[in-house]
Amino acid sequence: MSIYTHPDNQELLWNIINQNHYINTYFIQFPNQKKDFWFKTVIEAIYNKNSSPNITKDELYKMNQDTIFTMIQIIREKMAEVTKSTNNHTIFNNPITQIEPQFQSHIINTPPITPDNRQEVFNNQFTERQREYDSMLEKKAPVDVDFRDKIEDGVIQNMDELIKTHLQQREEELKIFAPPPIVPTKTDNPTMVIEPTVQKPISEPTINHDNMSILVSLQKMMFDLSNSITEIKNEILELKNKNISKQFENFQSTDNLIDFSSNESNAENITMVPDEN
């Protein structure tokens, strides 16, 4: 889209023509839709006449100038036709073109323009609007930010005074936040001595009757289990001793049997020897 048909440029042209006294006077007798349609028609005609896709700022300035001059020229011709058809009565005295009171607040009153300086005034208005439009499109560089410290730390000259001031501030703070003093309690009896309160030691929580019975039952069960374990150990030890003694007896009987067999064998050998005589 060309810069000429950009919404910002169209708004600039619309604001300029709305400040023209002749254009506002002519269109006061018509509805607003006709003025909008007329504006778009003129813009389209000039755009089709100079339909360059890319134009410079100077070319845009020239096209905007031609647009304003064309619009003013069209209105002047139409106003001349109306003047001629009303028997040389001025357009401003014609009831059809009188400005109605309800529209007067929306019109920007401009001083009367003489034929000698009219073009110069239009050029000045357009130049001012063009300058505002260029300033909106201009990309301004951001301001350099200086991160350096603005305050220089110099040598402290009055150290003693600073310390004294700090100590005074400290004393004032202590006076403000210090706890209130302890005031002794007055009694009617002058001989009565109020002793300082001593914090009582925290006693252990007492055990109720149910918990005590459960504790006794548990202790009894543990004692019975300990006795049972001791009895089992004694029985195991006794069984081991019996087994060892039985094995020892068997071992002794086996040795006696072996000795008896060897003695019988020796006796038989002695009886079997023949007598030589």
Q: Residues, the chain, total? A: 277
**CA separation, residue 104 to residues 24, 60, 82, 178, 254 (Å):** 10, 33, 22, 75, 150
Give residue 276's identity as a one-letter amino acid code: E
Q: Are 70 and 41 in contact (CB under 8 A)?
A: no
User: Contact, 232 vs 222, CB < 8 A?
Assistant: no
How far is residue 185's CA from residue 190's CA, in Å, rounded to a whole number?
12
Q: Tell me the residue type at 45.
A: A
Residue 95, pLDDT score = 46
In Å, how far are 65, 82, 111 from 79, measured between CA atoms?
21, 5, 19
pLDDT for the residue 196? 52
Q: Looking at the chain, which runs of residues are DSSP E strands?
A: none
**pTM, full prediction:** 0.34
Q: How far is CA 157 from CA 5, 84, 88, 114, in A?
A: 70, 93, 93, 76
252-261, Cβ contacts within 8 angstroms, sequence gap of 24 or more: none
Is the four-CA dihedral 220, 225, 226, 231 of positive or negative sign?
A: positive
The amino acid that residue 128 corresponds to is E
The predicted pLDDT at position 179 comes to 73
Q: What is the mean pLDDT of each run of 10 residues along the chain (277 residues)?
A: 79 86 82 84 84 78 87 85 66 46 43 56 79 78 74 72 88 80 63 53 59 83 86 86 77 64 56 48
Residue owning tokens 């006077």: 25
Q: List Cβ neighbours of 38 (8 Å cut-off, separation of 6 or more).
A: 27
- pLDDT of the residue at 260: 57
